[in-house]
Amino acid sequence: MNNYQLIIHVDDKQVVLERILQVTRYRGFLINGIEAKVNTGTHIGTINLQVSSERPIELLVDQINKLIDIKDVSVDNNGPR
């Protein structure tokens, strides 16, 4: 099982986190940890999501990028392995 850490920047909207969690589950990734913060000055949120799966991480990144209110998604290669 491969472990990944995603850094996701989002608009500060109520349903964004729920949509990300739903896509993660639908794509067959297990959530191992999550940390979410909002910058009240810019209204941009940062979500650090630790996931694991046998599937390539690009499948999840592409699907999260398609969601509304997503600014960008990156994989932290220094995250958990």
Q: Give residue 80's pLDDT.
A: 56
Over the chain (81 residues), the average pLDDT of each successive run of 10 is 95 92 96 92 93 96 96 84 53
Task: Kindly state the tokens that stand for 2.
Answer: 């491969």
pTM above 0.75, yes or no: yes
Instruction: Kindly give the residue spans of alpha helices, DSSP state H, lying in the chain.
Output: 16-26, 57-65
pLDDT at residue 81, rounded to an integer: 53
Contact (CB, 8 A) for 4 and 41: no
pLDDT value of position 46: 95
State the pLDDT at residue 20.
Answer: 96
For position 47, what pLDDT does the model report?
A: 96
